[in-house]
Amino acid sequence: MNKDQKKDNKAVITWLLIGCLLIFIMVVVGGITRLTHSGLSISNYRLISGTIPPMNEVEWQEAFELYKQYPEYQKLNQHFTLADFKDIYFWEWLHRVIGRFIGIVFLVPFVYFLARRQLSKSTTKKALILLVLGAFQGFLGWYMVKSGLIDRPDVSHYRLAAHLTTAFITFAYTLWVALDLMFPNRKKANIGLRNLVRFVLAVLLLQIIWGAFVAGLDAGFIHNHWPMMSEGKLIHETVYIEQTPFLKNFIEGKSGVQFIHRYLAYIVVGLIIFIAYKARKFEVTIYQKKGINALLILVLVQFISGVLTLLYAVPVWLGVVHQVFAFFLLAAMTFTLHRYTK
């Protein structure tokens, strides 16, 4: 085996795809953590010792007493028993442990491949970007939790959006690097279609951000009607758009945030249908066709899951399903863009 064959081999591709799978699991558990309101159950951050949960009743009681010192317990959960606390503690603990495990899975093989000279110069640079993204994602998680430990019993929806969006971007970039190695030779693609897919990807990321705003503000628990927001009216009887400045409603108001998320969904669906329509006019490869077909199926399922999540007032399982299909849709969009990029 020559030097070039040793570099960027199947083991490297497998490593990257395992990273994608772990980020997916991380996002799913993160969604459950958010939907079960478990994210503020662990108020202290211990990188190493925090991996081990309380092991006996004394340690559990100490953790519970610490939780009692913060706004979520004092303002919302004073009725909690130790058993209730253990339930929410589990999801946040699991979320953090998976995050630490992902760090190990990315860092240790990277060092190994680097030492064995199994990475090309280009892949080494990309892997370093992945490590930076992963570290930044961990920082944002800590920064997000910190916002809910001061004077309010919830995290900042801006920080939640940053944390979630960075996870999605890290996944998409990891998949992109893997695809670079899986498909080293790319065929020429239509520039117009490529730019259209890029634009739709940007709109999809915008939709993910507003989805995080909806989650962070619990905006899915109002306007539980479709297609109109509330019995044929834009504004719910108990929620008004009257803040100053007006545009602030669409980033901080529950009604305004849900409004944007709803109508961006229509735009995403329309744009993906337009991609499929435009692609019919050009000769496409089998992978380009598969990518577009996946987009059409996934955007339909994602839209339906979003409507059902709203109509049923965000049950945990439906909220998780909605987030999972957003993840799959981003994966399909990343794959399709890769197939249309020279």
Q: Which pLDDT score, from 0 to 100, does residue 119 have?
A: 92
Amino acid at 160: L
Between CA 81 and CA 67 the distance in angstroms is: 12
Q: What is the mean pLDDT of residues 116-139?
A: 94
Q: Say yes or no: 201 and 221 in one domain.
A: yes
Q: Say yes or no: 195 and 180 in one domain.
A: no
- pLDDT single digits (tens) 85-126: 999 999 999 999 999 999 999 999 999 999 999 999 999 999
Q: At what angle do helices 82-115 and 57-67 cross, to 10 degrees?
A: 100
Q: Say yes or no: 150 and 235 in one domain.
A: no
Peptide bond into 227 cis (omega under 30): yes
What domain range includes position 199?
A: 186-342
Q: Say yes or no: 70 and 87 in one domain.
A: yes
Q: What radius of gyration do the chain's Cα atoms show?
A: 22
Q: Say yes or no: 232 and 156 in one domain.
A: no
- pLDDT single digits (tens) 26-46: 999 999 999 999 999 998 888
Q: Say yes or no: 324 and 213 in one domain.
A: yes
Q: Say yes or no: 298 and 190 in one domain.
A: yes
Contact (CB, 8 A) for 229 and 262? yes
In terms of C-beta distances under 8 Å and separation of at least 24 residues, what long-range contacts does 50-54 make, across chains too?
Answer: 50/96, 51/96, 51/97, 51/100, 53/89, 53/90, 53/93, 54/89
Q: Which pLDDT score, from 0 to 100, does residue 188 have?
A: 67
DSSP 107: H
- 149: burial class by Cβ within 10 Å (0-12, 13-18, 19+)? middle
Q: Say yes or no: 164 and 275 in one domain.
A: no
Q: Say yes or no: 221 and 315 in one domain.
A: yes
Q: Of 124, 152, 185, which closes a domain?
A: 185
Contact (CB, 8 A) for 262 and 286? no
If one counts the domains in the chain, the total is: 2
Q: Of 129, 155, 185, which closes a domain?
A: 185
Between CA 172 and CA 193 the distance in angstroms is: 19
Q: Dihedral of CA 241/244/246/249: which sign?
A: negative
Q: Say yes or no: 271 and 152 in one domain.
A: no
pLDDT band at 333 (very low <50, low <70, confident <90, very high): very high
Q: At what angle do helices 121-146 and 82-115 cross, to 10 degrees?
A: 160
Between CA 121 and CA 285 the distance in angstroms is: 29
Per DSSP, the three-state class of 233 is strand
Q: Say yes or no: 83 and 144 in one domain.
A: yes
Q: Of 169, 185, 201, which closes a domain?
A: 185
Q: Which pLDDT score, from 0 to 100, does residue 105 have?
A: 95
Q: Say yes or no: 127 and 177 in one domain.
A: yes
Q: Which pLDDT score, from 0 to 100, does residue 243 have?
A: 56
- pLDDT single digits (tens) 214-245: 999 999 998 898 988 864 444 444 445 555 57
